Chains A and B, each alone.
Chain A
Amino acid sequence: MTHVVVIGAGPAGLAAAEHALAAGADVTVLDQADVPGGQYHRGASHRFEALLSRCTWWPESTVWALEGRRVHVLRGPADGTNRRRHTLDPDALVLATGAHDRVLPFPGWQLPGVFTAGAAQALAKGERVAVGRRVLVAGAGPFLLPVAESLIDVGAEIVAVLEANPARTVLSGWSWRAAAHLGKMNELVRYAGTLARHRVPYRMGRAVIEARGDDRVREAVTARVRADWSVVPGTEETHEIDALCVGHGFAGQPELAVAAGCALDGGFVRVGDDQRTGVDGVFAAGEITGIGGSAAAAAEGAVAGWAAAGRTPGRALIRKRDHARAFARRLAAAHPIGAAWPGWLREDTVVCRCEETTYGDLMDAVADPATPGPHALKLGTRAGLGPCQGRMCGAVVAELCGGTERHHRPIAQPIRLGELADPKEFP
């Protein structure tokens, strides 16, 4: 029987598991979390019990390295010690490692009390914790709406939801017919109703350009921005808040795909019509192939699971995926990143959060003939060398300094030296 290993138990991975099973494969599903569902199905893990009872389900399983299709796994609590090391050698591998929020830097974004939109959502939906009492939600993209709803749900007061793109960009990109087709209409109407009921303004063409505070955020400065996100002088407003939630879309987490030898296009894994990567037996689905949301991720996962089991995906599955992807592309066009955003930065604005490398440090290094190229720039400024390994600042540093972001992280997740030195391996 074909053995398919699925890495990631979010919408893409779970759909891949379900379809690989249906196609007759023996399926193992791994996730770092101790419950299935990924970032999307938070608090709804019970819905996947039946599916996972038919698979080999490994929760709390961190894939720290890949060599081709060989999967190196650590099993045990997150960042623990003495986790058990395993290796798997499947016939096919489905990578469904998802995405994290993308946040563009702005002065003060490193202050405690500034969160990604995804953090606010995870804490509200998963743990019933409100990140603040008086919260401003800002950035770009439709994800800000469910975040605001979840925050309201756990008792936070939302000062406003700010979409940086102007109304004409957002509305020209939205396709109501496509939204209706995918059942997204009800969701939108619900968000609009929730915001209206709680008198939360949704303002387009306005961005957070600074967070202020000493030991924590206390104020957010917002301003009207043009279509390219350049600030309109004189439109600044200051809001007293105790939490600020920001998201400018999402970035895929392709390090395992890179480790497997898959090619990337603009940070996303390149896949063929049946979700096959360029590496034999390795498939990719969901946000790592392009940001598309849960419906597109599940549709891709279905195709990937079927193909990974060695079967040809049916036309209905392919069509469903193509529709979901087309909707995602229109949505992305409605919420682009304005090219003039670096206008928010000041010389002392932190860009690399881990190493506290500032915009000024980076510009000095770029101008210095002694540090040519991204490698010297990194060593000279330490940007990207901290614990997050450039996950937060990599794309921004590449954009500001010229060059392309690299996702090459041979050790994809931290493994303790004792665990690495321990010769014991388990099948």
Chain B
Amino acid sequence: MNELPIEITVDGETVTGLAGQTVAGVLLGAGRLSWRATRSGAPRGVFCGIGACFDCLLTVNGVADVRACRRRAADGDEIRTQSREEDA
């Protein structure tokens, strides 16, 4: 990992991270703990951190259900949070 800053957006809001970080790393580094809602509407973020629990799913550049802990963030990525909440 190098120290080059990158910028991504999360639901339109700009978030800064470092090149080489995963999307999860950028979001946690920026102080965000959760970005997905379960069926009941409960918030979720990273749990296992290695791609096994699927709690950290989000949408990257229009592609849904990407594991944030496994996807390397790229400068300019547009991230959307996701919900499985019924009627959400």
Chain A interface residues toward B at CB < 8 A: 32-34, 39, 43, 77-81, 100-101, 110, 112-116, 118-123, 126-129, 131, 215-216, 253, 353-356, 386-388, 391-392, 414
Contact = CB atoms under 8 A, between A and B. Distances in A.
Contacts of A355: 39
A19 to B, nearest CB: 26
User: How large, as a class, is the contact surface on chain B?
Assistant: 35 or more
A391 B48 CA distance: 11
A115 B72 contact: no
> Would you list the 7 A-B pairs with minimal beta carbon distance, nearest first?
A119-B49, A127-B25, A387-B54, A78-B70, A112-B34, A112-B33, A100-B52
A64 to B, nearest CB: 13
A79 B65 contact: yes
A138 B22 CA distance: 25
B63 A112 contact: no
B63 A80 contact: yes
A112 B49 contact: no
Nearest to A114: B47
B63 A81 contact: yes
Given A110-B42, A127-B25, A119 B50 contact: yes
Interface in B3-45: 18, 20-22, 24-25, 28-29, 33-34, 38-40, 42-45
Interface of B: 1, 18, 20-22, 24-25, 28-29, 33-34, 38-40, 42-55, 57, 63, 65-67, 69-72
B40 to A, nearest CB: 5
Nearest to B32: A112
B48 A77 contact: no
B69 A119 contact: yes
Contacts of B66: 78-80
B52 A115 contact: no
Given A79-B66, A353-B55, A116 B45 contact: no
B46 A115 contact: yes
Contact of A123 (B28, B38, B44, B52): B28
Given A79-B65, A79-B70, A123-B24, A353 B34 contact: no
B51 A78 contact: yes
B20 to A, nearest CB: 7
B48 A112 contact: no
Contacts of B39: 355-356
Q: Main SS of the interface on chain A? A: loop
A118 B63 contact: no
A247 B67 CA distance: 21
Given A354-B54, A392-B52, 10 more contacts: A33-B70, A100-B50, A120-B49, A122-B69, A127-B21, A127-B22, A129-B25, A353-B44, A386-B54, A388-B55
Contacts of B67: 78-79
Contacts of B33: 112-113, 216
Contacts of B1: 43, 126-128
B48 A129 contact: no
Contacts of A119: 46-50, 69
Given A112-B45, A114-B47, A131 B55 contact: no
A353 B44 CA distance: 10
Contacts of B51: 32, 78
Given A123-B28, A129-B25, A129-B29, A112 B44 contact: yes
Contacts of B47: 114-116, 119, 353, 392
A115 B40 CA distance: 20
B30 to A, nearest CB: 10
Contacts of A129: 21, 25, 28-29
A353 B70 contact: no
Given A112-B33, A118-B49, A387 B57 contact: yes
17 contacts: A32-B51, A43-B1, A78-B72, A79-B71, A80-B66, A100-B50, A114-B47, A119-B48, A119-B49, A122-B69, A123-B25, A128-B1, A129-B28, A216-B43, A353-B47, A354-B54, A387-B65
A100 B52 CA distance: 7
A158 to B, nearest CB: 17
Contacts of B24: 123
B48 A100 contact: yes
Contacts of B50: 39, 100, 118-119, 122
A77 B71 contact: yes
A387 B58 CA distance: 13
A78 B46 CA distance: 16
